[in-house]
Chain A
Amino acid sequence: MSVHDVPRGAAAPAASGRRSRGTALVRLATRHPVGALGAAVVATLVLVAAFAGYLSPVDPNAQVGARLSPPSVDHLLGLDQLGRDVLSRLIFGARVSLLVSATSVGLSLLVGGGLGLIAGYHGGAADQGIMRAMDLMFTVPSFVLAIALTGILGPSLPNVIVAIAIVTTPTIARVARAPALTVRETEFVSNARAAGAGDLRILWRHVLPNVAGPIIVQVTACIADAILIEAGLSFLGLGVQPPYASWGNMLGTGRSYIGLATGLSVFPGAAIMLAVLGFNFAGDGLRDMLDPRWRRT
């Protein structure tokens, strides 16, 4: 981003906003097939999570047969170490994993994104204060937080969500701050300021569009990351509590059966990878769609 650069938000043709959504989708699918694929994966996962109760063949916690049974017609992905249906657990696991990652990242986007923009745009004491606070949040390891939160909140889903949100917030803040820092030095922003535009308006109209690309990439990465952090917490025995296991949970216990019932780790592992890839691809697509250069061509 050089001083010669024309801020992209301002350069985007006004007409583009009036295009119908349907056209945009078709355009996305044809121009950015990977992004469309990612979006499709995310949409599918959301649907699976929403309708888990209808889709899952049996109760995910019921012990329905012999432990470590291989995949069969009755149980397409086999049974786990307690004789629970792996497919049903994966389907309900989608709900838990998506809920945890989306909520925690949503939280950190609101807090971290906002603070990062303010820090970068205002600079000075606000910047110092906010960024040192972010360092502070980043410094305490997530599993220390998770254990401590268990003490305060009792063992519950919000624990895990808050612990992950606290870890991802500074990431988003830092990513939002760096471009904001550069943008505020541009002639364009100083011109806008000289023309009497308020801070909020400048932030919204001129800064935000310029930092949206990196933030969106970071948010999709963070959602993916949140799924992985949750898996790590599960590995340490601090993950999501029942009634339903998360994918991370299943992977954490399933890895003890590699060689005996390898599917127990491969299926949740594949689900995690699929979701992570889906979010990242969708992020790429979004990033390009928001990029005026891409829209122009």
Chain B
Amino acid sequence: MRAFLARRLIATVATGLAVSVLVFLLIRLAPGDAVTMWIGQEGTMTPEVRDTLRKMFGLSDPVAVQYLHWLGDAARGDLGYSFRSRLPVVALLGTALPVTLELAALAMLLAIVTALPLGVFSAVKHGTPADATARLLGLLGFSMPSFWLAVLMILASATYFKWLPALIYVGLAKNPIENLKQMLMPAVSLGLPLMAVLMRMTRSTMLDVLGQDYVRTARAKGAGESAVLARHALKNALIPVVTVMGIQLGRLLGGAVIIEQIFGVPGVGTALVAAITQRDYPMVQATVLALGLLFIAVQFFVDISYAAIDPRVRYG
């Protein structure tokens, strides 16, 4: 176990480094740089000013040199300053990241508490109209583009209920009730597709498991239906579900980019879109790296949880 952890830790650091190199290169491959965006289309900036800016941002150095500078600073916890606002990237991320994490956690929570029971229910009632209804509901959630759902939700709420949460974002710590009101619609529209995926996965694996011999055996031995479901079936059905959940976190963070824009939530999605549009390299690098590390950490826990759920899985 210790060797496994050590190996995973090394792999995680390596992946983190690879992510940073990749993002560093990718964002520089996109046409234009921060100075291009700063110049705008008006062309009033003199070439001397452009050079000054590029030097100031370190953009005139070779990419490898830029990367080593950045890596050296990052190793000391200094992610640099935003090219645009000149504010420290760490501070900007510090305000935006918790917002997105809360949104993702809420969306996931909503998805899990609805999807697991629905999936189990659907599998147990396999082939009945109740199963069909549950699946159809799930599929409707899955098939609707979440940004469209979000737009319809906010318009419907405003038009028919004349209600929207407070305009200016309130932190969870500052005013939990108001914060949850603000997060409700974003979390639902973000969580709905995830809910549908989880429900399908739960149903599908539950069906597999329910057909297995040992479940039949348990039943034959006279174990109660709920005991069979909880002790034998659900536990075994969880592996693919946990896998999908881990993967879906990435999708969730991707979806948050759009959902945050629609609901005006000041999370990393909003910040990342702005940073990419403005070619604010330090901001893009730090944000993608933070999201990447987060994702890698979740994958790590997913892999560990396999073992917890199914002892036959060895640490490879």
Contact = CB atoms under 8 A, between A and B. Distances in A.
A228 B257 CA distance: 14
Interface residues of B, number: 66
Interface stretch (A12-20, A42-50, A196-204, A213-221): A213-221
A26 to B, nearest CB: 19
Nearest to B275: A144
A142 to B, nearest CB: 6
A188 to B, nearest CB: 13
B15 A224 contact: no
A124 interface: yes
A128 interface: yes
Q: Which of A144, A152, A171, A255 has the most CB of B within 10 A?
A: A144
A190 B250 CA distance: 35
Given A148-B26, A181-B313, A2 B213 contact: yes
B251 to A, nearest CB: 8
A281 B136 CA distance: 10
Contact of B247 (A150, A152, A171, A232): A171
A214 B203 CA distance: 12
Contacts of B257: 141, 143, 236
Nearest to B211: A293
Nearest to B294: A139
A276 B143 contact: yes
Interface in A237-253: 248, 251-252
B142 A144 contact: no
Nearest to A185: B312
A277 B147 contact: no
B15 A136 contact: yes
A167 B295 CA distance: 14
A248 B29 CA distance: 26
Interface string B143-177: 11111100110010000000000000000000000
A142 B288 contact: no
Contacts of A178: 239-240, 243, 306
A255 B306 CA distance: 42
A132 B214 contact: no
B240 A179 contact: yes
A135 B19 CA distance: 9
Given A174-B243, A273-B144, A232 B316 contact: no
B7 interface: yes
B18 A231 contact: no
Contacts of B211: 293
Given A128-B7, A178-B243, A273-B143, A151 B288 contact: no
Interface residues of A, number: 64
Given A1-B236, A128-B11, A132-B14, A269 B145 contact: yes
A286 to B, nearest CB: 12
Given A1-B208, A232-B258, A276-B142, A150 B272 contact: no
A159 B68 CA distance: 29
B98 to A, nearest CB: 19
A152 B28 CA distance: 10
Given A135-B299, A232-B147, A280-B143, A2 B11 contact: no
B144 A140 contact: no
A212 to B, nearest CB: 12
A75 interface: no
A235 to B, nearest CB: 5
A139 B148 contact: no
Nearest to A233: B258
Nearest to A126: B316
Contact of A144 (B23, B145, B250, B313): B23
Q: Which of A143, A148, A167, A224 has the most CB of B within 10 A?
A: A148
A280 B27 contact: no
Given A178-B240, A248-B145, A276-B143, A139 B30 contact: no
A67 interface: no
A237 to B, nearest CB: 9
A214 B241 CA distance: 11
Contacts of A228: 145-146, 193
Given A144-B276, A232-B147, A277 B139 contact: yes
Given A128-B316, A258-B151, A277-B143, 16 more contacts: A1-B208, A1-B212, A2-B214, A2-B236, A4-B213, A135-B299, A136-B22, A136-B292, A139-B250, A144-B276, A145-B26, A148-B30, A182-B313, A185-B314, A232-B258, A287-B204
11 contacts: A139-B19, A141-B254, A143-B276, A144-B288, A152-B29, A175-B244, A181-B306, A182-B312, A232-B258, A235-B258, A236-B257
